[in-house]
Amino acid sequence: MFQAIPPADAILLKLTLHALSDEECLKVLKKCREAIPGNGQGKVIIIDIVIDDKKDEHEITKAKLFFDLLMMVVVTGRERSEKDWKKLFLEAGFSNYKLTPIFGLRSLIEVYP
């Protein structure tokens, strides 16, 4: 299903991983990890939804949960909390990440080898 990815300084995944199951997401992240140099120069940049019901306003959380239902009904994916994302990153072989909420429902997640 997946082919080898040539070495890259950065890989951008925008609203892609939320449509995938945890197993499929892990496969993609592992391939990304293989393609990122281990010298600390590269990273994976993910723009996706991160559910944070403790920090987000109620209406934002409701919208994110609506997308979660949509992902479960239409495809095999789901919206994830920061804890869910961290688990996937660590299982894929990454050592660190930085999460920054951006405009609207999305967050910018930088994942490092």
Enzyme catalytic residues: 18
- Cα separation, 111 vs 31, in Å, equals 13
**C-alpha pair distances (Å), 8 with each of 31, 33, 34, 37, 39:** 11, 10, 9, 7, 12
- Cα separation, 111 vs 33, in Å, equals 9
Q: Which among 7, 22, 1, 11 has a CA at the least distance from the CA of 71?
A: 22
